[in-house]
Amino acid sequence: MKKTKKKLLFLILSLLIVLSGCFGNQRRKFDSFMEQLFINMVGSPLDANFLVKDAKAFGFEDLKVEPITFSEEDYQDYYQVMKTLKEELVSFRYENLDPGRQLTYRVVEDYLEINLSYEDYYYYENPLGSYLGYQAQLPLVLSEYHFYTMKDIEDYFDYLITTRTSFENIIAFENEKSERGFGMNDKQIDGIISQCESFLSAEVNYLIPLFNKKVEGLQFLSLDEKNLYRTHNEDLIKNEFLPAYRYLKKELAKLKGRAVNNQGLAHFEKGKEYYQVLFRDATGTKLEVAEAYTYLEEKFEDNFDLFTTLFKQPGVAYKVMSLDSQFSNYTNQGILDFYLENYQDDFPIITDVKVKIENIPSSLKENSSPAMYFLSPIDAEVTEVIYINDSIFGDRPAYAFFTLAHEGVPGHLLQHSILKNSSLPNIRKFISYKSYSEAWATYVERFVGEYTEIDSNVLKAYQLNDELTYLYFCMADIGINYYGWSIPKFTEFIRDMFQQLDSKAIEEIYYQLIEIATNYLEYFFSYHQLLDLKASFIEKSKDLDIGNINYEFHNFYLNTGPTPFYILEEEIALYLKRF
C-alpha cells in the first residue's frame, strides 16, 4: 500500500513537472510573440524616435522614412495582418497563462478587435483637420524630433522632403472620397486652409532657429557638420516643407463645394455604425451609444442639481467668477513645483523628474490645444517637455493651474513615467488608450483642488461649471453624429444651456463636433467611467484594512497600465487580494 502511494505520488509529481514545463514553454512563446508584435507595430522612424532612445537596441535602426500612402490594397493587407495576429493570439491557451500575461492577452485582444472593427470604413478616415489633423500636428512633432544620432537628423530631413508627397497622396485620397460621397464639408476645409495660412505666415519659420539651437548642443557633430546641417535644414524648410503646405492649401480650395453630406456622421451610409466603432475606441467601454447618451443625461442632471444648489449659497457665484485672482501670482514652473511638493501622499512617486515648459509657436497657437505633454522614451530618463498655448494660459490663471496638473504631475507625465518604468511588457507600453490616459488627466485636474486653500463649495462649483459644459458637448456630439441632428435641432438643444450663443457661434460648435467626433467623449465620458471605477474599487475594499484609499486606487490604476475600463473593472479583485 505504501509503495502504491509512493508510486502515485511520484507520478503526480512527474505530471506536475511536465505540466510546469508545458506552461513555461507556452509562456515563453507568448512573451516572444508579444515582443515581436511590439517590434512589428513600430513602423516608422518617427514612431521609434518618440518611443525609444536607443533604436538600435530594439532593432529599429533600419526603419526608413516613407510618405503617407492610401490604397485599398494596402488597407486590406493591413487588416489581413491584423486577422492573422488575432488568430495567433487566440492559439494560446488563456487558462495556462499567469494573471499578468492574462491581462496582456485581454488588452491585446481588445486592441486587435478595435482595429479590426474599422475594416469596412476605408472612406470614413480623415487624415486632415484644423485641430487634430496630420498637417496641424506635424510641425510640432518635428519640433520635438530627437537627435540622438546622425541617422535621426537624416530621418528628420527625409520627413521634411517627403511631406509634399504625403500631402499629394492625401489630396488624391480626399478627391477619391469626394467622388464616393465622403468628402469634407466646406467648414472643415476652410479650417484646414486657415491653419495652413497661420503656419505659413511667420517671417521666419520657427523650425529653423529651433533646429539650430538643438544642433548646437550635439557633441557627436563637428563644427563643420553643424554648419552644414544648419544650412541644409534652412534650405529644406524654405524649398521643400513650406512649399508642401502651400500646395496643400491650394489643392484644398479645389475640394470645396463637393461635399454630399454637410451634417454629422449619421448622414453617411453606415455612419451610425461607424460612430459606434469610434465610440468604443474613444471610451474604452462596450456600451451601446444609445446607452451612453442616457448615462450622460443622468450624470448631467445629477451634477446640474448640485451645481444649482451650490450657486444659491451666498458669495459662491462671485468667488467662482473671481477665482483667477487666487492663482495670478503663480508662474508655470511654480505650479509644477507646487504639485511636486503636494502629490506624494496620494500617488505613486517618481524621482528626479526634470520638466521644461515650451510655448507653442505663434504660427500654431490659433489651431492648437491649450497644452500638450510629449511622451518621453520608454528606455531612458530625459527632460520631460510640456507645451503650453500662452495665448490661452495668460488670461486664465485658474485654468492654467489645473491644466498643468492635467499635463504634468500627477497627470499625463506621472502616468507615463509610472508606465515606462514598470515591468509591463513593451507591447503594453506601446498600446495606448486615449480613454485611459485622458480620463486620468481629467480626474487629477479635479483631485488636486484638495491641495489648494479654496473653499470646498467654491471649488466644486467651479469644477461643475466646467464639467456640465463638456457633458453637454458630449451629448451634442452623440446627437449630431449618431442621431443625426440638424443645425436647427442642435440650436434648440444648445440654447437650453447657453441662451447667449448667437447663430454663428452655434454653427461653429456644430461643425467642430463633426470634425472631431468623439473627442470630448475621450475626456469626459471616460472621466465619469473612471469615477465609477473608483466607486467600485472603494465598495469592494470596504471590509479591508487598506489605509489611504486614494493612494491604493491611484496605484492600482497607474500600475495596471493602459487598459479599457471594462477590463480595469475585472482587475480590481485581483489587486485587492494583496490586502
| Partner residues linked to 387 by β-bridges | 358, 372
The long-range contacts involving 32-36, CB below 8 angstroms and separated by at least 24 positions, are 33/88, 33/89, 33/92, 34/104, 34/108, 34/425, 34/426, 34/427, 35/425, 35/426, 35/427
Predicted local distance difference test score (pLDDT) of residue 23: 58
Residue that has been written with the C-alpha cell 461607424 in this structure = 274
For the four alpha carbons of 326, 329, 335 and 337, in that order, the dihedral sign comes to negative
> Max alpha carbon distance in the chain (Å)?
96
**pLDDT (tens digit per residue) in 474-528:** 999 999 999 999 999 999 999 998 988 999 999 999 999 999 999 999 999 999 9
Sheet hosting strand 384-388, strand order edge to edge: 355-359, 384-388, 371-374
> Would you state the pLDDT for residue 22?
56
Phi, psi of 380 (to 5 degrees): -160, 150
Residue 358: what pLDDT?
87
pLDDT for position 502: 94
Cell numbers standing for residue 291: 446607452
Q: Quote the pLDDT of residue 367.
A: 64
Cα 142 to Cα 162: distance, rounded to the nearest angstrom: 13
**Which residues contact residue 225 at a Cβ distance below 8 angstroms, ignoring those fewer than 6 apart?**
none
Query: CA 267, CA 185: separation in Å to the nearest integer?
Result: 13
Quote the cell numbers at residue 28.
515563453
What does the pLDDT read at residue 208?
A: 96
**CA separation, residue 504 to residues 487, 507, 510, 511, 562 (Å):** 11, 5, 10, 11, 39
Task: Name the residue with cell 497644452.
Answer: 371
Q: Which cell goes with 113?
A: 478587435
Rg (CA), the chain: 26
Contacts of residue 158, Cβ cutoff 8 Å, sequence gap at least 6:
45, 65
Nearest to 240 by CA among 178, 158, 363, 344: 158
Cα→Cα distances 184→4, 153, 279, 487, Å: 79, 35, 20, 17
The H or E element spanning position 504 is: helix 503-515
- Give the model's pLDDT for residue 122: 95
CA distance 169 to 367: 23
**Residue ranges, the chain, pLDDT below 70:** 1-24, 367
So what's the pLDDT on residue 18? 46
A 10 A CB-CB count for 281 gives 19
